[in-house]
Amino acid sequence: MRRKLSLHKEIAVPDRIGVIEAMLRKDPDDVFLHYSLGMEHVSRRQFPQAAVAFRKCVELDANYLPAHVELGKCLRSAGELAAAREAFIAAAALAERKGETHTRTYILQQLEGLPQ
Residue 6, domain member (yes or no): no
* Confidence (pTM): 0.85
pLDDT in tens, 1-40: 455 444 444 434 458 899 999 999 999 999 999 999 999 9
Could you tell me if 70 and 39 are in contact, meaning their C-beta atoms sit under 8 angstroms apart?
yes
Residue 46 maps to a domain: yes
Q: How far apart are CA 103 and CA 94, in angstroms?
A: 10
Range of the domain at 106: 16-111
Count how many domains the chain has.
1
Nearest to 96 by CA among 108, 82, 84: 108
The whole-number average pLDDT for the span 76-96 is: 97
pLDDT recorded at residue 113: 83
- Judge whether 28 lies within some domain: yes
CATH assignment at residue 22: 1.25.40.10
Measured CA to CA in angstroms, residue 12 lies from 15, 26, 40 at distances of: 9, 24, 17
22 vs 106: CA distance, rounded Å:
34
